[in-house]
Structure 1
Amino acid sequence: MLTPGRAIMGALFCPSTRYQTRMRTTTTLAVTCTLATLLTAATAATKTPSAPAAPAQPKLVVVMAVDGLPQEQLLRYRDQFGDGGFRRLLSQGAMFSDAHQAHGTTVTAIGHSAILTGAYPYQHGIVGNNWIDRATGESVYCTEDRRHKYLGEETKPDDGTSPARLRVDTLGDQLRYATGNRAKVLAVSGKDRGAILLAGKTGTAYMYMEGSGNFASSSYYMAQHPAWVQRYQAARPQDRYYGKTWRPMLADSDYAMDAGEKAFAVSYYSESGQPDAAYYQRLKGGPFVDELTLEFARAAIEGESLGANPAGVPDLLGVSLSAHDYVNHANGPESRQSHDHLQRLDRMLAGFFTYLDKRVGADNYLVVLTADHGFANSAEFSQQQRMDAGRVDGRKLMDGLRAHLDGAFGAGKVTFKASLPNVYLDQAALDKAGIKRFDVEQAASRWLLAQTGIAEVYTRTRYEEAGATGTRLDLLMRRAWHRAESGDLVVVPRPYWAFGSGSSGATHGSPYAYDTNVPLLMMGKRWIVPGRYTRNAEVVDIAPTLATVLQLRPPAASEGRVLTEALVGGAAR
């Protein structure tokens, strides 16, 4: 048998056809090889082994976000999970233990934007849940669009109705483009921003209506709801919880690791004695809104035939589960209520995955689960742990800054508006007063840094002239700053400090690990290699990784890496 080297040498010295003819007249040795024969042999012998064939595309990709779930909680309570929810993801999927929402302002809108754009705020333009519009000087909501209305529901001016303020495309948009709009992209959430920012520009978003308890879309997406949505709304599933009480599902001893509060009981009712807007709003603050979200997701899978696309192309479903964020805000992630809610959510996920197994087929779908942000413990709990912790009253802080600038530059000459952490200077007023913005930035920064609980202040001049510097904090905050949408000053609290007032509850929004470190789990045995991966990963890695699986072009502003270490055949791609 010819080795690769020998086959090539044989081909080089094989007689030509004309030479073979001459040789037959002078010798009894018949030379029968031809150049073509040896070249064929050489090619076969030197052929590089082909890479493993990429597995077929999933029929359905389900991208799930648990609003306000820090990685720490997932690990702390993992021994109490059942078999089919989080535990299934952890045992049958890939788990990235050092995964982060790697930008400095960790809030719901920014985190949801990162998941399927693969982009940071400095590109996608969503710099908060709310910010100040420089053109009008008014506060704007991240997904408000007064050109559009909810379908069949009351719409307030600042309600979220479209992705107009999202400046980039998403994975779903790329999927729709690549398939000639044959792929279906749909997202559902308890919050409008949770659905809209996952659905992207060309998908369809459905959100929970706190006035009626319905899930509804807006006129941005369609003129009227399809028949399956109308049937779902007519059944009024949201009313089944009226008069029910949320109590701990585990034994008291199972909550020993919590902050020590006594058993709780949360009842769902209204003063009118029947389901009404007060009841539907109250429903948002506990596990039942997540049950409804997953129930509507099932209805969407069946109503839109997701995962069984007649065109034979993959579909994409985004599911954002909102209640954990509300529970943590009210009680802190160290609370018994937060602990119990996560256990209930685990059982809900188990039921949802079982449904997907039967409806779509266990080998036909891929699931990604992450969070839009983590959570700090309540200041009071952190203080009990002997941490330097507290709350910075944003209104008092801005009143103090205004008084300081009046004293430094003259009363009323420096005006600004704030949507913390952003502070917006009135440039026209500065020009009129002959005051340089740089001088105001410096004076404001010095004063703010002297205040209790403030760690750092970033300025527009610093970003425009120097960009990011070498520290991790600088990098995260620079990623969170958008030239057109962000403030002239960005104020960062110290670790375990947060903007807010009052004496209870907790929040998020900082660049610190308790807010950035979130779960990143992927499951789908035909595409994902199970295991725990300790290499740093970011939520922006989800979009390019799924683009690789789906054989798509990544979204235009995507900066994440492909998580090849967790992909079947990843090393060969």
Structure 2
Amino acid sequence: MKKRQFLRTLVATASCLALQTVNAAAPATPTLASTLPKLVVVLVVDGLPNEQVQRYRDQFGQGGLRRMLDQGAYFSNAHQAHGVTVTAVGHAAILTGAYPYVHGIIGNNWIDPITKKSVYCSEDTNYTYIGEETKPSDGTSPAKLKVDTLGDELRYATGSKSKVITVSGKDRGAIMLAGKTGTAYMYMDKTGDFASSTYYMKQHPEWVTKYLANKPQDRYYGKTWAPLLPPAAYDGDADEDLSPAKAGSHNRLPYTYYSESGEIDAGYYASLRVGPYLDQLTLDFARAAVEGENLGRNPAGVPDILGVSLSAHDYINHAFGPESKLSHDHLQRLDRMFADFFNYLDKRVGMDNVLVVLTADHGFPNTPEFAKTQKLDAARLDGDKLMDALNQHLEQKFGIGKLVQTWSLPNIHLNYGLVEQNKLKREEVETAAARFLLAQNGIADVFTRSQFESGAVQGTHIATLMRRAWNRDNSGDLVAITKPFWYFGSGTSGTSHGSPYAYDTNVPLLIMGKRWVKPGYYGQYAEVVDIAPTLANLLHVRPPAGAEGRVLTETLR
């Protein structure tokens, strides 16, 4: 009996010791905080068509865009899936996951439905820039954004412990990414400083004050922007003479930055927008924000978001077109800037702890002059002359002048008051206006308020994009679409965007973070509005209220 009891005790002791050994060797169950990225970096290259990434990818260095292409998920068929592809609309889509009919940002500018005056997407006279001159139309708050962003949801979920900091060369670029509760900083054309507004704080934190005191923007005075690559690398670019330089500007490299006064002044600071130095300054300020706000090292152990919108590519493409040598060279320089920035983040936060998303707010068409060399029907369409002709036509038809009250193309506003006073039917006037416009050279289609409100705008891909772009409160009574490769403009050089065509909608979408994302080339259709739901899924927070995108599950580990 004693022997049997001894054996039982021996077995029990051995089992206990084995269990203790197993428990000691087993890894601890990961906590939610340990599985989340410490820092989410959202990079937006203003005005970057995806075709430029495809066309120039073999020339990229090792650590920037190539790193994202090799180590991240790259969607080559991603789109800003709304019909009016401009900066404010595209930036609003990225972290709201919403379309304009919901988020309310229908353009950079639009017509106020009450006053019938032009309003700017981020203007708010209740607030001013901190330490900078502020005009009534300057962008100072997200008041016109009707929904929240991913950053707002993250801050809500963490009791405001997460930080959301955004920076851009344009106020609308920073403000739309920051949402309602983040903090936006934007480049000031007159001083070259980055400033926030009183919507976000009463005064800048100490780290901003110290950064601005060093005047880093002044170091580029007298600096020359010269080609980065050997001459043969640019052989496929457009002839520089296709894009004549405007007064006080340049259309070829090398180019030296200076001012007409011979001193560092507002003219010099404004000139920095068209070239690589604005983007370098933006990324430098982003570094200062990472350190000043301790991003990615949050003492509360919760994720932070850094949004960086690089604005210079848009200015360059407007002036010279995406086919130009300047645009080509700028993208190569931006690629090298990203490499330096990623190296910095690796040392500061550790790239294993960082999730990076890169996209664009819109693409770009070629200049009409270049498009014509490709045997395409392309031109600029003078919107003011077109509206004058439309008013004359309606007056001849109905005997009433100025039935077109105002416009901010592609949106056209009719004077419904005059229509009702003269006992006309709204649909009759809308239809007459639409038919006239459709008969004009350069116009592909026209949609009316009655069609939008009745649900008649459907059936085609472009109709879907335009329906998403139309907001009942802010949009016009008519929306006109130019033919492919045409755009509304009265100039004689450069190009612009804003259409529902693929050259304006197809943008890069890259996501990099080896702990969360499966690298690969993804050819399936995706939308920029998919970014917010995907990040919400990875951060374990609810999607923003207006989000309609999908979680890109095919990329997730």
Q: Same fold (TM over 0.5)?
A: yes
Distance in 1 of aligned mates of 2:198 and 2:256: 34
Match of 1:276 in 2: 265
- State the AA in 2 paired with 1:281: A
Decide whether the 8 Å contact of 2:95 with 2:531 is kept in 1. yes
Query: 1:260 Cα deviation (Å)?
Result: 3.0
Match of 1:143 in 2: 122
Match of 1:101 in 2: 80
Distance in 2 of aligned mates of 1:174 and 1:201: 10
Match of 2:145 in 1: 166
Distance in 1 of aligned mates of 2:462 and 2:177: 27
Correspondence 1:131-530 to 2 at 5 A = 131-261=110-240, 264-412=253-401, 414-530=403-519
Segment drifting more, 484-493 vs 390-399: 390-399
Q: Normalization by structure 1: what TM-score?
A: 0.89
Distance in 2 of aligned mates of 1:524 and 1:69: 22
Q: Identical aligned pairs, as a percentage? A: 66
- Cα distance change, pair 227–549 in 1 and its aligned pair in 2 (3 A): same
Segment drifting more, 261-270 vs 509-518: 261-270
- State the AA in 1 paired with 2:68: L
Deviations 1:422-450 (A, max 9, x none): 00112222222222211111110000000
Deviations 1:317-356 (A, max 9, x none): 1000000000000000000000000000000000000000
Q: Secondary structure at the residue paired with 1:220?
A: coil
Decide whether the 8 Å contact of 2:72 with 2:510 is kept in 1. yes
Task: Count residues in correspondence.
Answer: 519
Decide whether the 8 Å contact of 2:46 with 2:310 is kept in 1. yes
Distance in 1 of aligned mates of 2:553 and 2:94: 17
- Cα distance change, pair 54–92 in 1 and its aligned pair in 2 (3 A): farther
Match of 1:559 in 2: 548
- Whether 2:533 is the aligned partner of 1:544: answer yes
Distance in 1 of aligned mates of 2:198 and 2:429: 44
Match for 1:110 among 70, 89, 99?
89
Distance in 2 of aligned mates of 1:53 and 1:398: 58
> 5+ unaligned residues in a row in structure 2: which ranges?
1-28, 242-251
Distance in 2 of aligned mates of 1:264 and 1:548: 45
Decide whether the 8 Å contact of 1:186 with 1:204 is kept in 2. yes
Distance in 1 of aligned mates of 2:34 and 2:372: 52
Decide whether the 8 Å contact of 1:391 with 1:501 is kept in 2. yes
Distance in 2 of aligned mates of 1:288 and 1:147: 32
Q: Secondary structure at the residue paired with 2:81?
A: coil
Query: 1:413 Cα deviation (Å)?
Result: 5.5
Query: 1:266 Cα deviation (Å)?
Result: 2.3
- State the AA in 2 paired with 1:461: S
Match of 1:23 in 2: none
Decide whether the 8 Å contact of 1:413 with 1:430 is kept in 2. no
Deviations 1:86-135 (A, max 9, x none): 00000000000110000000000000000000000000000000000011
- Cα distance change, pair 558–79 in 1 and its aligned pair in 2 (3 A): same
Distance in 2 of aligned mates of 1:519 and 1:414: 42
- State the AA in 2 paired with 1:232: Y
- Whether 2:71 is the aligned partner of 1:92: answer yes
Larger Rg: 1
Q: Output the aligned Cα RMSD.
A: 1.5
Query: 1:54 Cα deviation (Å)?
Result: 10
Q: Secondary structure at the residue paired with 1:62?
A: strand
- State the AA in 1 paired with 2:132: E
Distance in 2 of aligned mates of 1:265 and 1:281: 18
- Cα distance change, pair 479–55 in 1 and its aligned pair in 2 (3 A): farther
- State the AA in 2 paired with 1:449: L
Query: 1:362 Cα deviation (Å)?
Result: 1.7
Match of 2:49 in 1: 70
Decide whether the 8 Å contact of 2:402 with 2:415 is kept in 1. no
Distance in 2 of aligned mates of 1:314 and 1:277: 38
Query: 1:379 Cα deviation (Å)?
Result: 0.5
Query: 1:470 Cα deviation (Å)?
Result: 1.3
Distance in 2 of aligned mates of 1:554 and 1:207: 26
Deviations 1:167-214 (A, max 9, x none): 000000000000000000010000000000000000000000001000
- State the AA in 2 paired with 1:331: F
Distance in 1 of aligned mates of 2:234 and 2:156: 49
Distance in 2 of aligned mates of 1:467 and 1:56: 47
- State the AA in 2 paired with 1:162: S
Deviations 1:440-468 (A, max 9, x none): 11110000000011000010000101243
Decide whether the 8 Å contact of 2:387 with 2:404 is kept in 1. no
Q: Secondary structure at the residue paired with 1:363?
A: helix
Decide whether the 8 Å contact of 2:83 with 2:465 is kept in 1. yes
Q: Secondary structure at the residue paired with 1:372?
A: coil
Distance in 2 of aligned mates of 1:179 and 1:411: 59
Query: 1:264 Cα deviation (Å)?
Result: 2.0
- Cα distance change, pair 413–190 in 1 and its aligned pair in 2 (3 A): closer
Distance in 2 of aligned mates of 1:563 and 1:54: 22
- State the AA in 1 paired with 2:59: Q
Query: 1:55 Cα deviation (Å)?
Result: 7.0
